[in-house]
Amino acid sequence: MLEEKVAVVTGAGGGIGRAVAIAMAAAGAKVIINDIGVSLSGEGGSTAPAQETKTLIEQLGGRAEINTDSVASWESASKIIQSALDHFGRIDVLVNNAGILRDALFHKMSPEDWRAVVDVHLNGSFYTSRAAADHFRQQESGAYVHITSPTGLIGNVAQANYAAAKLGIVAMSKAIALDMGRYGVRSNCVAPSGWTRMLSSIPIKTPQQQARMEKLQQMTPDKNAPMVVFLASDAAKDVNGQVFAPLHNEIFLFSSPRPIRSIHRSEGWTPETIAEHALPALKSSFMPLDTLRDVFSWDPV
C-alpha cells in the first residue's frame, strides 16, 4: 500500500513507533527511523534502539535509514525532515510518534516536567509537521499521522502534561486538515492502546491492577500499525481530520466536542439566574469526571 513512498516515523526505536516503522517498510515504504534513544522520562541517549529497528526492517527486505535529531526544537526537527530528502529524495508520510512521560499529580507537577512533555509531544509534532508542510504543499500530496492518546481524549490521573499535549495534537491535526486539504494533504490522529514501556511504568498496587495489566499485555504494539499504514496510504485519500483508536482487535472512531444542550433567556443572564435556572437545566448533561478505565472498562477483545 505504500510502494515507493517515503515515510518519517519519529520515536521509532521501540514500542508502537518501531511496529509502525516495520509495517511501513513491509508495505513498501522507504523509512526514516527517527529516535534519540532516551529513557521513558527523556534522559540519556543512544543510537542502539534505532539501529535495532533498522536491522529488523532490513532483515525483512525493507529499506531504512536512521536519524537521531530531537523533535523538541525547530532546528533539529527540521533536520529530521531533511534527512528524508537527503536519503530518498522526497517525503510522503510523517508519523509523529515521539514521546516521553513525566507523570505526577497536578499539585506536585513541576514546571520543568510540564515543559519537557509538551516540548516533545506537542511542540515536537508542530516542528516536524511544519518542516514537512512546504514539501507536501509543493508536491500537492502528503499524509500526516499524529499519535495522540486516550489520556488526552478522555482523561487520566497524574498526567496533566501528557493529556494537554495529546489533546493539543488533535486540535493541531484538525487545523492542518482544514488548512492543507486544498493541497491534497491529509492529517489524521491515531490514539493507540498497547503494551509499551509507557504502560509498563504504571505502578501496580493491587491484585486487580495486576490482573488488568496482564490483560493489557495482550495488546501488543503491532496492533496499532495497520491503522497507521492505512492512513498513510492512498486508500485513505478521502479521510481527513479524523481520530481513530485501535483497541486490540477493535477500532473506534472518536467524535469532536460539539454543543450538546442549550438554554435561552431573552433578557440575558445574571450570576443568580444562571445558578437558579441554567444550572438545573444543564447539569444532567455535564461531562463526567471519568478516566480511561471507566470508558474502556471491558477486557480487550
Burial of residue 105, with CB atoms counted within 10 A of its CB: 0-12 exposed, 13-18 middle, 19 or more buried:
exposed
Whose grid coordinates read 498513510?
Answer: 232
Q: Pick the catalytic residue from 127, 144, 162, 183.
A: 162
Contacts of residues 181-185 at CB distance under 8 Å and 24 or more positions apart, as own/partner, are 181/240, 181/241, 183/136, 183/137, 183/140, 183/142, 184/140, 184/141, 184/142, 185/133, 185/136, 185/137, 185/140, 185/141, 185/142, 185/143, 185/144
- Concerning whether 162 is annotated as a catalytic residue, the answer is yes
Please state, in angstroms and rounded to a whole number, the distance separating the CA atoms of residues 161 and 205.
23
User: For residue 59, what are the contacts with CB-CB under 8 A and spacing of at least 6?
Assistant: none
Whose grid coordinates read 489533546?
Answer: 167
CA distances from 117 to 76, 124, 128, 156 (A): 17, 10, 16, 15
Give the bridge partners for 94, in sequence order: 8, 144
CB 102, CB 113: distance < 8 Å: yes
What's the first-to-final CA gap in the chain, in angstroms? 27
DSSP secondary structure of 65-112: EEE---TTSHHHHHHHHHHHHHHHS---EEEE-------B-GGG--HH
Please state, in angstroms and rounded to a whole number, the distance separating the CA atoms of residues 93 and 172.
17
Which residues are tagged catalytic? 162
